[in-house]
């Protein structure tokens, strides 16, 4: 039974990746932070399942700053594959908390690399980089050879981590690779991200809320895919013979305005009647239109996105409607 260890297992991607690896027969270890509440809504369906938790899935407490604990967990679990997903994942928020963003994303990754290279059996490592490393890009679409020009604290931290993964691959011969992922969403996306803000508001308004949704720049464009597809690419990357980095993207740009249209159409409403733009929510510096060229992933990994943005937004709205109808207090399910 192959053994995988996931940092960031409680996150959007971590939860989909856990399901994927369990379905492929892996034994999965996950690192979780101690919190004052024990609910982990994205993986509770797995940890509360007595046939899975404790036999094929195990959780361990650690923080990316706890090098000693992380080393102990690595030694004890002896993974064949490590998927390093943990980090402060909100780009806009990285302007408000730049120090902890860099501490976890940049230094946290370096710390992990140092631990891994000393292990008796060095596991394969996948790191989730980000399109934000390209910031204001020199070319479009971006490929694996496009130079980094990050424009946000998050992007700078990711660029450091991605380059460090490359350095350890070259200097120490580690099988360590970067998935340079563009935005990916799902019904499990955090509530502070714009797509989920929109789908939740559309669902609430459909159910009778009189609120007005306030958003920043609705002309911002992104290359949006489905998280379930992106974790499949991550797994494929670690099954290759040679360690290489890959762009994981749809190659299609859409605006926040289009997400609004798809979400409100899904509940039979006009977004123009319920949305206001709010200059206070514009980012200090927004990246330009980042669009990924994933032709290498298509060619070598045999990977391609399976869910388009219309379907993705509909899935999210449906899930938010169902959650609101289940929880009369409006508490989301995930």
Q: Where on the chain is the footprint of ligand NDP (CB under 6 A)?
A: 7-8, 10-14, 33, 63-64, 85-89, 104, 128, 130, 181, 183-184, 190
Residue whose C-beta lies closest to ligand NDP: 11
The tokens describing 239, both together, are 């099954």
Active site annotation includes 16: no
CB of 268 to ligand NDP, least distance (A): 28
Q: 5 preceded by cis ω (within 30°)?
A: no
Nearer to ligand NDP, 97 or 269 (CB): 97
CB of 270 to ligand NDP, least distance (A): 28
CB of 299 to ligand NDP, least distance (A): 21
Catalytic site residue from 16, 154, 182, 262: 182
Nearer to ligand NDP, 57 or 205 (CB): 57
Please state, in angstroms and as integers, the Cα–Cα distance from residue 214 to each residue in 177, 211, 263, 276, following that order: 39, 9, 15, 5
Is residue 101 a contact partner of residue 157, using CB atoms and an 8 Å limit?
yes
Nearer to ligand NDP, 248 or 267 (CB): 248
Q: What CA–CA distance (Å, rounded) separates 211 from 201? A: 8
* Phi-psi label, residue 330: left if phi above 0, alpha if psi -120 to 50, beta otherwise: left
Nearer to ligand NDP, 49 or 66 (CB): 66
How many residues comprise the chain?
334
What's the farthest any 2 CA atoms get from each other in the chain? 61
CB of 273 to ligand NDP, least distance (A): 29
Looking at the annotation, which residues are catalytic?
A: 182
């Amino acid at each position: 039974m192959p053994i995988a260890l996931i940092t960031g297992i409680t996150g959007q991607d971590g939860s989909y990746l856990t399901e994927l690896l369990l379905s492929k027969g892996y034994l999965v270890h996950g690192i979780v932070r101690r919190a004052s509440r024990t609910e982990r809504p994205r993986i509770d369906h797995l940890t509360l399942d007595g046939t899975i938790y404790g036999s094929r899935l195990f959780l361990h407490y650690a923080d990316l700053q706890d090098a000693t604990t992380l080393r102990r967990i690595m030694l004890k679990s002896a993974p064949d594959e490590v998927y390093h997903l943990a980090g402060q994942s909100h780009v806009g928020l990285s302007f408000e908390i730049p120090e902890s963003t860099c501490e976890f994303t940049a230094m946290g990754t370096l710390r992990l690399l140092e631990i891994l290279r000393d292990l008796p059996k060095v596991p394969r490592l996948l790191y989730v980089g980000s399109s934000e490393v390209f910031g204001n890009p020199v070319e479009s679409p971006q490929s694996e050879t496009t130079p980094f020009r990050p424009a946000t604290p998050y992007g700078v931290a990711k660029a450091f981590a991605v380059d460090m993964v490359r350095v350890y691959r070259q200097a120490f011969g580690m099988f360590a690779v970067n998935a340079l992922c563009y935005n990916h969403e799902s019904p499990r996306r955090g509530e502070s991200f714009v797509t989920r803000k929109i789908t939740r508001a559309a669902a609430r308004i459909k159910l009778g809320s009189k609120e007005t949704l306030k958003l920043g720049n609705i002309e911002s464009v992104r290359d949006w895919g489905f998280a379930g597809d992106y974790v499949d690419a991550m797994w494929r990357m670690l099954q290759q013979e040679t360690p290489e980095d890959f762009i994981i993207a749809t190659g299609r740009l859409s605006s926040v305005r289009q997400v609004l249209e798809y979400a409100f159409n899904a509940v039979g409403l006009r977004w123009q009647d319920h949305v206001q733009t709010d200059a206070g929510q514009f980012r200090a510096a927004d990246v330009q239109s980042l669009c990924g060229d994933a032709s290498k992933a298509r060619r070598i990994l045999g990977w391609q996105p399976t869910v388009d943005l219309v379907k993705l937004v509909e899935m999210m709205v449906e899930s938010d409607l169902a959650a609101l109808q289940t929880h009369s207090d409006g508490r989301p399910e995930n």
